[in-house]
Amino acid sequence: MTNPLGSVFLSYKHQDSDVPDQLEETLKNHGIPLWRDISHLRAAPMHQELKDELRKSGISGAVVLLSKEVANSEAILDIELPTIHERWRADDTFFTVITLYPELDYSGANDVLKQASSLYDFSNWHMESLDSSSADAYREIAKSVLQERLDAINESIDADRPIECSLDTYAEPSYGSDLALEIDWSSYFEAVELPIEDEWNDYLLPVLGDILNQVKQSAPERRVVFRGQAHLPASFALGYHTSTTSSIQAEWKPTFSSDGIWSNYRDSRDSGLDWELRTNSVSNTDLAVLVNVTDRVEPEVGNTKPELPRFNGILEFTPDDGIGTHLSSAEAAHAATVFKQGIRNALDELQNTKKIHLFMAVPTGLAFLCGQQTNTFPPIQTYAFDDNSREYQKAGELEN
């Protein structure tokens, strides 16, 4: 019996170009957990090892990269394709996506597939063409795999069970099993510098949109529970795209806490978070929002001042009990509501505001909950804190 939450097997010709590496990265960015021989087996795996792996219940599906050179691959034609077809015939949950190299059309793909050591017809498999080497072309393949995986999960697990997902930017996810999606953006944060603004707006945020749009489509009635160790702009954007008015009931599960689920859909308790608005020139159209919970952000925002616009006001949130106040799950829900109310109050007073600039020092889960409360606001420019320069750097801009 196939575990729909298992890894997806990546089949490819080792002598092919860097396409497998690019596809692997794109699939990981979209949350697809992968099994790839160079990561899980020795450099030259024996055929029986490949067959044994493919028959394990923990392999939930397969992505086959098909090029003309596959016609010369004994491992793919004699072991991988027949065994994948065997799994596909035996269990409706097991899915397969054939990805064609740009130089290979559907007729040429069938000519290659006919050479597999199997009596069965492969032509009715799901095929997608990688029509270019652009990031968007790889995203289209990832979206197809995402749809197949989420459809299988939604049809297989109990109706009252939430879909559990992770978003990690600090390090590769290591949660074991039973997560529907493991969104791994850690490669974008490994270098000394954080992702630049264009990487956020042109790639990371659109990828997040791909994922959440498919969740809404494949599992519209389910709760979705996220977890992870993510930079605040990423977790805030995740919340922004799963707002409390959307069709997804999304919640957060802290990684290192037994406090339970953090949610905007459960009872709240007074957090002691309060706000203060200091107005500047009303002719300016940018509002600064500073949220101080785990630390005070104003000194580092001051370091960043030369790169910032002139603000019409500064809205600052601080707990009554002071910086470093520990929040329970119920208090976090209240704090997110206060965040929304404070910004609405500021926007009522500063009605010419065209953009919000957000600087946060908060628990990751609170950034997520706050993001869920902002769907009716003007565009929000998020910032990531750079530990090296002690300044804030532009991250993604969120706009409905």
48-79 confidence digits (pLDDT tens): 888 889 999 999 999 999 999 998 888 899 99
Q: Are residues 217 and 264 in the same domain?
A: yes
Q: Are residues 395 and 309 in the same domain?
A: yes
Domain boundary among 134, 156, 178: 156
Q: Are residues 130 and 239 in the same domain?
A: no
Q: Are residues 6 and 145 in the same domain?
A: yes
User: H or E segment at 370?
Assistant: helix 364-371
**Interval 16-33 mean pLDDT:** 91
**Interval 122-140 mean pLDDT:** 88
Q: Are residues 134 and 272 in the same domain?
A: no
Task: Compute the distance between CA of residue 334 and CA of residue 303 in angstroms, rounded to an integer.
Answer: 31
CATH number at 51 reads: 3.40.50.10140
Is residue 45 over pLDDT 90?
Answer: no
Give the 3-state secondary structure of residue 384.
Answer: strand
Task: Compute the distance between CA of residue 41 and CA of residue 174 in angstroms, rounded to an integer.
Answer: 18
Domain boundary among 125, 156, 187: 156
Mean pLDDT of the chain, nearest integer: 92
Q: Are residues 33 and 54 in the same domain?
A: yes
Task: Compute the distance between CA of residue 56 and CA of residue 29 in angstroms, rounded to an integer.
Answer: 25
Split into its structural domains, the chain has a count of 2
User: Count of CB atoms within 10 A of residue 270's CB?
Assistant: 11
Q: Are residues 3 and 147 in the same domain?
A: yes
Domain span at 120? 1-156
> pTM of the full predicted structure?
0.93
Q: Are residues 129 and 4 in the same domain?
A: yes
Q: Are residues 36 and 87 in the same domain?
A: yes
Q: Are residues 358 and 227 in the same domain?
A: yes
Is residue 42 over pLDDT 80?
Answer: no
Q: Are residues 115 and 193 in the same domain?
A: no
Q: What is the pLDDT of residues 187-238, one digit of tens each?
A: 999 766 799 999 999 999 999 999 999 999 999 989 999 999 999 999 999 9
Q: Are residues 148 and 59 in the same domain?
A: yes
DSSP for 288-352, written as a single string:
EEEEESSS--HHHHHHHGGGSPPEEEEEEEEETT-TT----HHHHHHHHHHHHHHHHHHHHHSTT
Q: Tell me, what's the pLDDT at 192?
A: 67
Sheet of 7-11: strand order equals: 34-35, 7-11, 59-66, 95-100, 126-129
User: Count of CB atoms within 10 A of residue 49's CB?
Assistant: 15
